[in-house]
Structure 1
Amino acid sequence: MKGSEARENASRRIRKKLLSRQNHQTGALYGKLTINIYLRIFSLVGTVDLCNCHLVCKKFYELCRSNTIYIKKLLLMGAWDTALSKSLYLESRSEAISSEGASSNREKTKSSQSETISSYGATERSIGTLPHSLLGTLPENETALPSAVQYYTRQGREDVIHVFDKVSHRIELARIDYIRVWRTLAPMYRNLAYASNTLDPIAFSSFETPEEQAVVLKLLLRFGNSKPYGWFDSSMQNAILDMAVLFEQACLDELALGIDSRNLELVSQFSHVLHDFSDPNVYVQLYISKHRDYLQSYFQFDPYSLFTVNADNERSQIQWGILENVINDTIRLLTSEYAFTSASFPVPELVEIPYAREIVGNSFKNYVTSIVEHIGDEEVDLYLIFISGLYRLSKRLFDIPNGFLIVDTIFQSQIDIYISQELHNFKIVAQSVVDQWDLSIREKEGATESFFFRNVGQNTAKNNFLETFKNVMLLPVSLFSFPSENNEQANIQRAVQISNEPDAYDGLDNLDPSRFVPSNVYVSQDQLSQLPTTELAAQAAVLDSKLEGISNMFSLELALKIVHLCKISLARSKIFLGISSSQDEDIQALQKDLFVQLLRQLGQGHLRHGFDRAIEHLSLLDPKKDFTNNTAEPIVKFLELINVGDMIQQMMDTFYNEEMSSICVRDDMFDPAIAEKKKFEQLLDERAALGLHKGIDVIIEHVDFLLESKTPINYFSPQSIGLTNTMVEPSAAAKSITQFLRTHMKLLVGSTDHEILDLFYKEIGMRLFNSLTRYIKQRKFTVEGGLMLLSDLNLYNEFVVSLKQRALLPYFKALKEIAHLFIIDGKNAEEIGKLATDNSRFSTAFHTEEVYEFIHCRIDWLSIKYQVDKVIHGLACCIM
């Protein structure tokens, strides 16, 4: 513990000394380096005696202080590796420490003072000094050294080119390394700085190839960064920079000449020289500028020649062959140019990437922009076809290098426009199809109504005219003239003669009346045979035509048309997939939006309006109408409409499985496509249930009408006596109702699926049960009337059994038990009470209280009330 604290204190003292001496004894640039080296030394020699470590750091500090100026200059030239110099010094120190530890183990019996002295000697020897032979050859004033490098020899040129490679990066040899660099480069630097032309300097006369000249110029520029002649003298460095600029421009001129003449060797030589000497962007921009004008002349882009007008529909058509030839020419051009750049430039990608993006891509982008401007905003469908078709052709560019950059440059400004236009166009077109269908329906209904009422208007006007004419004819003519009797007799004979003549226009009656009916009018042949002549009859005819058109409220053909439009839009959008993840996300979002619009146009736009119109027409059906000769066909037609809606829903399920299942998660309720699909299905269920409810209301109201109209008020309480032994048959109302219901149940089979049919049967059965229950409570029954009621209920029960709905059977069985309450003679009132309290007979259909209400319907209730209450309420017990 004490040893670690002592080392920490020593480290703190060393840092403090170094910081105090940094500003006036060492250079500011190398001060931090020296401190870090000292601390690293201290960490390595921490196992050695602290006094020995202090001596080592002190000796090294003195050595660094004498070489700081040289290390600083080598750093400015970029010829000194600080990390390498640290590692080299620490390696030498670790070897010295290990040797010192071995010697200290052998001399354990010596005193502490002798160990310290020997350690100091070992440290001094480990640091080392320059060899005396080398030091003797170097004078004190390095600037007075004669130039020993023979620049015009091969060895001399090698020494210049590799002068920085010979730097040792050892701290103790920094002065020698800098003097070597000075002796090699200083004469050339001064010679070039004061040269009056580019022929005499050694840098250009001794080094003849452009590659060597570029290397030498870079070496001289690095040497000049160290300010070898002082910080104030910058004119020499500026002169070197001017020479470098002249050299770079000369190389660019040669490169331009090579590019123009397609000289592979010349382009390869000077592109490599410029790549090593200056920024590669210099020759890249030269190459791009040379090819920009060339490509514009290579392709003759004419947007007007791309379109032709179809003579039939006068719509513009795209000449895809022209675009395909442009793509093929582009591929051939890029293949040839890439072969040239790969063989000539040091890094072909530096030239090929901007060439593809800025030259080819921008040229195509301008071409596409001009075509889009030529198409205009009105022909959106033509724009969508053009963009998707061109993108499909442009995918062939992906087979060559940097083809993606070209396609991205061409369409980067068109993808977002395409997405918005595709969605907007589908929405507008689908909505127009739906609106056109709704308009045609309204026009047909309006035309039908006007057709029937026009006939009424013509007859009314005719009658009014004849009535007026009759009044005129009846005016007293004696006010104006006094005709003779002979003339009056002649007029009478003439009138009789005219009345006996055959009608010259009897042939009009033989014409087919359907020839004069517009095509958009709902008129059956029966209605044509006897057109309405009164306003009331016309209203009835209009109502019948509306009810007959319920099944045509929406169309499978329209749904298929909208689905086809959506598939076209999806097919166009799929062309843009597989390019990039971000673009794929945008396209998939577009596909989901298209599917959402498809569901909205079919659901909210078409099916909902059709169902609402059909339900509105159903509400116009009069349940009190006599359905003896015909049936409530509108209800059947509405079920057919439900079947059509179910088919459209199945179409949407198939469409989802084929087109959307790959990009949607079925259970993800946050997905807009899944949420809209659920809304679509819910809409169909709600509207179908609402329509079925309205149809069931009509049927049951007609049942109630039959019950009221075909059974007199005293039907179950006849006044005659002695009918108990006669054969009792079902009433006319029961026969009409069961026949009416059976007919409709048969008509419903096949018009909808089994699940909806079962639901319909159950609802009809329960509503019939409620109607019969309400009907029974409104009547009075004798014993004979109870038998008649039981006969009717048996008929109703047979009908319910035929529906094969087991859930309905207990209810109608309970109704039959209710009839038994009426056929028991009043003398057996206690039996009536026992029957009413037998819950097993009435199941869950009626409670005892409800059964008690039915007993009130007996005509002899007041006479049996006491005995029945005594059984039901337990009044037989009395308190004494």
Structure 2
Amino acid sequence: MSAFKRVNVKGGISRQSILAPLREAQIVSSKPVFPAEILSTILDYLPVPGQLRFARVSKRMREMVYDDTRWVQRLQLMGCWDEKEARKSAEAARRKRSETLQSIHEEEAKRAGIGVNGTANGTNGSDNPEGPSVTLFDAAIEAAEHEGKTNGGPLKVAPPNEDGFDAIETSPRGRPAAYKSQDTASRIDIFAHVYSLRGFARQEYGKVYGALAPFYLDAIRCENHTHATVFRTYRDPTQQARMLFNISKFSNSDMSEGWQKRKEKFDALVGAFEMAVSKEFEQALDAGDVAGKMRKYAHVLAYLNGGHSGVELFISKSSIIGSRYRLGNALDCLNRKGPGSFSTEESYSFFSNVSTAFNEQVGIIDQIFPTSVNAIVPFVQRVGKAVISDYLTTLYDEAHRTNIESYLRAVSATCDQFLEMTRFLRPTSASGDDFYETLDEVIATIFEPHIDLYLKEELEFFKKRSSAEVNNWEKQLSEQDASMQSMFMSNVNRQADKRDFLTSFKKVVMMPVNVLPTFPMSSPFGGKPATAKALVNGEALATTEISGSQTSTRPSSPGVINGTTLSVNRPTTELPEPPTTELAAKAAIMNSRLEGIRSLFSIEVALNLVHTAKSSIERAAVFVKVGGHFASDARLQCELVFISLLQTLGTRHIKAGFDQAVDHLSKYKPKEVDEQQGSGVTPLVTFLELVNVGDLIQQMLDVFYEQELITTKLSDRNDFLNPAVKEKKRFEQMLDERVAAGLNKGIEVLMAEVEYLNATSQKPQDFNPGAASGGDPDVMDIGPSQAAIQVIETVSSHTRMLVGSTDKNMLDVFNQEVGMRLFAALCKHLKRQRISVNGSLKLISDMNLYFTYIQTLKNEDLLQFFKALRELSQIYLVDPADAKELATIIADGDRFHGIFRAEEVYQFAERRADWYQIKSKVERAMYGIGCMLQRFFLIQVEASYSVVPQYADPSEHEYSRLYFYPLASTVERVSQESPERLDHNDTPPSIVPP
């Protein structure tokens, strides 16, 4: 251990001196560093000379000042920087540098005898320390290119000093800077030589600063505006204006402290100059010097600030604005021809004067203002607001206050004339497409305050007018009905008073107001005696014109339609004596009501409503030309007018008329109504005339919808959600339902008439010649009976009424229904007759006549029923001695085509005049004597009759109407009425041959 020696550690503290640690210690400075972001923000508030002095402080300060984004911002404030152009130039420079580097590498490789990407021994060429190197962004090359582009010469690049400061070249004493030596013309066009180049924004801004900053700084320092350097340097007003515009543009880049005050001072100088030029322009305008001073100073103002002040001054001094009251007076359009009128001549004259004056001013604008000034837009706006809008507002307010119809005509007519006037307005050479867009905007602005009120009033006006038209019609009908009843019942009261003096005396004493004296006396309907006559005879008194008010007391359907006037001239006949009994009076009233069915709704009323709707739609459709939301609102309004037309004409007029007609038909009783001369004066005939009128009205509406809404593209028929299309379908459905209900009731009335004719015209000796007392059964007429002829004439005359006026499908259904009910009526009629063998010939003739008529209807299904009826008439021709053959005919179901069952044929056979003589023989031939199954068959027949439905109304069930009602039900009714009714036990069983 004593041999151990200490070893000195290297780097340890030397113990030779105690000051050694102090010598090795270092003093570290901890001064705070100012953030660069704050310095950059402060630079934004320094003027340009201050920023250049700040750049001389250090290299980092210079980089901060020379930052390209700082100067790009200033160029953007002046509107001189185009980012697209800068991007395009940067890409072009990058491509050029790439091409230059590629060519340099290729040349070096050729000189060294190696490839472009390596040395001769395969090593990378970049390992050669002596090889030349070129950076991708060489500032010297870029600067040289920029200098050559801008100044035409290369830029000398000074090498940086070791202390971090660049050497700054200064101009020799006595020689100004480069841009200070420029002439005045180049300063005016300085912005034309500023380019958008990335990395050189400071140099580009320097051009502008050197050319315009002296004038800007001088302008804000001088106290008197006339002493400004810019006015002493440039004497021509045009050059002064252009220079002031450049300086104003340059002042936008002033962001240093106090820029607001400097901007205000400079704007004051520009304002003073603009005021002076405007005075000169106004004097030239008053003097009318268009080609001289007006043109000169208009161009000066255009160079100064775009010419807005000159345009405003010209518009305010324009003759069309100053003398607008001479163009026309709005109130002259009203009350020229009476209430509700509107004079389109006066409004047309106004718009014509406006068009002429406008085109004259446009010619002046083209002469004085340069093409860069679009003076037509503010001119059109001012004319629209100050001239046209003021005129129309006055007109509309007064028209709306006095008469709504005048208001509606005024709004539509003036809008149409305004749109027509715009076609003749001449644009300026500098207007372009903006002129027509401005016209559309002006039209929309003018009519915007009025369109909503107009469309609302248009719809309300149509509703009130159509409602008043229908109310007037209904009032006339009610007055006519009351007058008719009063006239008919008055004579009954007079005759009653004459027959019973005591009763008349009591009525005079107790109720004097009911006494109707024999001498003429005024009454509430005394002023219209001819009206009652016309109602009874079904005549019209006067010609009805669509354009005027309905002066006739009973408008009637027209005979000829000539477009605008519908008239009916019918000769009046002498009225027979009024009825003298209450029953006859009620019958006459019913007859008159049935005759008056055709007047329950009128085609004249329909035409009036259609014409009113046409006028409303045409007025509202004018605003479709305006476009925008005006077009959609106008289309919707036209559809609403058409919907209102359908609702008024359909629900209130046509539907109500059909309902009243059906009600009158339901009360028709042929036995209580006197038979009219001719086959055309029957209830169904008058109803079919009503159907013809309804069909004609529907065709009118179809044509109206097609021409007024579809052709003009106001509505789309293919849009099933369109309210007009839906309402039109509802109207057609309503009309079909009303016509079907009326025809059904009319067919019932027709069949009632047929039954009445059969009951009154069919003589007992027609089918049983021996039944008449003193008649000769051997002498008879084998032709059809008079009753059958009248029935065929009556039915055929009614079925022909629908030919050509209704749809073929509806006509077929109508004819089939008439044929089936006629078949049921004839079966019922046969059950009431007694038919002999000799009378069967006339019956066969009648059945052949009916069959021939049914053939004309061209309905095969219906023809089968009358074939069976014709075959049925053969059972009466069988001689009583051939009873067995009769039983065979009755049991032959195929003979009657399945229409009649054997039980039903048996019932018809019971109507033979000799039935009680051949009954036992027929039954013996059909069932046999002593057959054990006879009682069973009788029970079956009773059960089959018990389940036959008894429908009171043949329309309750289709099959009951076609089969059960005319057969089973009718047989039971006839059996109850006939004294020859068989006992129930005598009812034949189901016919089944033994």
- Corresponding residue number in structure 2 for 1:866: 927
- Corresponding residue number in structure 2 for 1:53: none
CA 1:174–1:581 in 2, change beyond 3 Å: closer, same or farther?
closer
CA 1:145–1:618 in 2, change beyond 3 Å: closer, same or farther?
farther
Verify: 1:799 aligned to 2:825, yes or no: no
Q: What is the deviation of 1:325?
A: 3.2
Select which of 469, 477, 480 maps to 1:433.
469
SS in 2 for 1:624: helix
- Corresponding residue number in structure 2 for 1:565: 612
Q: What is the deviation of 1:334?
A: 0.7
**Equivalences for 1:321-400 in 2 at 5 Å?**
321-347=345-371, 350-377=374-401, 379-394=403-418, 395-400=420-425
Verify: 1:191 aligned to 2:218, yes or no: yes
Aligned 8 A contact 1:251 1:274 in 2: yes
Aligned 8 A contact 1:728 1:791 in 2: no
Q: What is the deviation of 1:423?
A: 3.4
Cα distance per residue 1:571-600 (max 9 Å; x no partner): 545655544365455444444444444444
Q: Which moved more, 1:178-187 or 1:547-556?
A: 178-187
Counterpart amino acid of residue 458 in structure 2? E
Aligned 8 A contact 2:179 2:207 in 1: no
Cα distance per residue 1:817-869 (max 9 Å; x no partner): 34555766899887666545644322242356755776788754765663498
**Separation of aligned partners in 2, 1:258 and 1:726:** 126
Counterpart amino acid of residue 472 in structure 2? Q
Verify: 1:205 aligned to 2:232, yes or no: yes
CA 1:86–1:123 in 2, change beyond 3 Å: closer, same or farther?
closer
- Corresponding residue number in structure 2 for 1:68: 66
Counterpart amino acid of residue 597 in structure 2? I
Aligned 8 A contact 1:22 1:28 in 2: no
Aligned 8 A contact 2:646 2:727 in 1: yes
CA 1:865–1:636 in 2, change beyond 3 Å: closer, same or farther?
same
Select which of 86, 89, 103 maps to 2:90.
86
SS in 2 for 1:519: helix
Q: What is the deviation of 1:205?
A: 1.0
**Separation of aligned partners in 1, 2:199 and 2:863:** 114
**Separation of aligned partners in 2, 1:240 and 1:469:** 116
CA 1:267–1:144 in 2, change beyond 3 Å: closer, same or farther?
farther
CA 1:674–1:526 in 2, change beyond 3 Å: closer, same or farther?
same
Q: Which moved more, 1:103-112 or 1:639-648?
A: 103-112
- Corresponding residue number in structure 2 for 1:738: 788
SS in 2 for 1:350: coil
Q: What is the deviation of 1:440?
A: 0.8
Give TM-score scaled by structure 1 length.
0.74
Select which of 413, 437, 452 maps to 2:488.
452
- Corresponding residue number in structure 1 for 2:826: 772
**Separation of aligned partners in 2, 1:506 and 1:851:** 62
- Number of residue pairs matched by the alignment: 777
Q: Percent identity?
A: 25
- Can you give the 5+ residue segments of structure 1 that lack an aligned partner in the other structure? 1-20, 31-60, 473-504, 509-513
Select which of 861, 869, 874 maps to 1:815.
869
Q: What is the deviation of 1:532?
A: 2.9
Q: What is the deviation of 1:246?
A: 3.5
Give TM-score scaled by structure 2 length.
0.66
CA 1:90–1:258 in 2, change beyond 3 Å: closer, same or farther?
farther
Verify: 1:299 aligned to 2:326, yes or no: yes
- Corresponding residue number in structure 1 for 2:742: 691
CA 1:826–1:648 in 2, change beyond 3 Å: closer, same or farther?
same
Aligned 8 A contact 1:89 1:171 in 2: no
- Corresponding residue number in structure 1 for 2:895: 841
CA 1:655–1:133 in 2, change beyond 3 Å: closer, same or farther?
closer
Aligned 8 A contact 2:887 2:925 in 1: no
Q: Which moved more, 1:260-269 or 1:763-772?
A: 260-269
Q: Which moved more, 1:99-108 or 1:285-294?
A: 285-294
- Corresponding residue number in structure 2 for 1:613: 660
Aligned 8 A contact 2:327 2:354 in 1: no
SS in 1 for 2:225: coil
SS in 2 for 1:700: helix
- Corresponding residue number in structure 1 for 2:273: 247
Select which of 574, 593, 599 maps to 1:546.
593
**Separation of aligned partners in 2, 1:851 and 1:708:** 23
- Corresponding residue number in structure 2 for 1:648: 697
Q: What is the deviation of 1:337?
A: 0.8
Aligned 8 A contact 2:316 2:322 in 1: no
**Separation of aligned partners in 2, 1:829 and 1:750:** 44
**Equivalences for 1:142-161 in 2 at 5 Å?**
148=176, 155-161=182-188
- Corresponding residue number in structure 2 for 1:46: none
Verify: 1:604 aligned to 2:646, yes or no: no
CA 1:223–1:802 in 2, change beyond 3 Å: closer, same or farther?
closer
CA 1:561–1:682 in 2, change beyond 3 Å: closer, same or farther?
same
**Separation of aligned partners in 2, 1:626 and 1:151:** 120
Select which of 86, 94, 100 maps to 1:96.
100
- Corresponding residue number in structure 1 for 2:151: none
- Corresponding residue number in structure 2 for 1:492: none
Counterpart amino acid of residue 795 in structure 1? D
Cα distance per residue 1:754-811 (max 9 Å; x no partner): 55776554333211212333555x5698xx7577567525413313313423433321
Q: What is the deviation of 1:398?
A: 2.0
Q: Which moved more, 1:706-715 or 1:535-544?
A: 706-715
**Separation of aligned partners in 2, 1:348 and 1:845:** 97
Q: What is the deviation of 1:29?
A: 13
Cα distance per residue 1:730-752 (max 9 Å; x no partner): 999x9354133133145447644
SS in 2 for 1:539: helix
**Separation of aligned partners in 2, 1:416 and 1:224:** 50
Counterpart amino acid of residue 168 in structure 2? E
Q: Which moved more, 1:262-271 or 1:692-701?
A: 262-271
**Equivalences for 1:512-531 in 2 at 5 Å?**
517-520=529-532, 522-524=535-537, 528-531=575-578
**Separation of aligned partners in 2, 1:849 and 1:465:** 63
- Can you give the 5+ residue segments of structure 2 that lack an aligned partner in the other structure? 1-33, 44-58, 145-153, 160-165, 427-434, 509-516, 521-525, 538-571, 938-988
Aligned 8 A contact 2:320 2:383 in 1: no
**Separation of aligned partners in 1, 2:507 and 2:991:** 84
More helix by share: 1
Q: What is the deviation of 1:119?
A: 5.7
**Separation of aligned partners in 1, 2:528 and 2:239:** 103
Q: What is the deviation of 1:231?
A: 4.5
Counterpart amino acid of residue 612 in structure 1? D
- Corresponding residue number in structure 1 for 2:686: 637
SS in 1 for 2:413: helix
SS in 2 for 1:365: helix
**Separation of aligned partners in 1, 2:726 and 2:866:** 43
CA 1:411–1:832 in 2, change beyond 3 Å: closer, same or farther?
same
Counterpart amino acid of residue 751 in structure 2? I
**Separation of aligned partners in 1, 2:155 and 2:345:** 86
Aligned 8 A contact 2:891 2:991 in 1: no
Aligned 8 A contact 1:291 1:359 in 2: no
CA 1:23–1:464 in 2, change beyond 3 Å: closer, same or farther?
farther
SS in 1 for 2:750: helix
Q: What is the deviation of 1:436?
A: 1.2
**Separation of aligned partners in 1, 2:158 and 2:637:** 81
Aligned 8 A contact 2:837 2:879 in 1: no
Verify: 1:109 aligned to 2:119, yes or no: yes
Q: What is the deviation of 1:289?
A: 4.1
